[in-house]
Amino acid sequence: MVKREFGLFPFRLFRVNPPFLERSLPDNHYDPWRKRDAWRRHEFFSARNRMRHMVPGLGLATVAFVAYLAYDYWDNTSGPKAEENKKWDVWMKERDARLHGHGQH
């Protein structure tokens, strides 16, 4: 069974040689358009292949972005910027205490 791109479309009625017509044709019937129509069934033109080639760098870009996020997370938590971030956290808490503490608004 061939997997259809559009499940609800009545392909049986709109094919070049629908099944009900093939039963009525003689055994020695020759279809002159068969060679010209064969490219449509080639795997290169399948729906899966077209979707895969629609965005040709998405896989690599996704991997690069995830690597960037992992490096950024490491750099900010336990890498070289971790100590600086801790100092900024302390400074921000002191600043908030100065600005919003002691009943001043």
- Residue spans of the domains in the chain: they are 19-54, 58-100
Q: What's the pLDDT at 39?
A: 77
Give the predicted TM-score (pTM) of the model: 0.45
The residues near 55 (Cβ < 8 Å, ≥ 6 apart) are: none
Res. 25: pLDDT tops 70: no
Calculate mean pLDDT across residues 55-74.
Answer: 94
Mean pLDDT, residues 14-18 taken together: 62
Residue type, 82: A
Cβ atoms of 15 and 41 within 8 Å: the answer is no
The residue ranking higher by pLDDT, 86 or 4, is 86
Residues 6+ apart with CB under 8 A from 45: 39
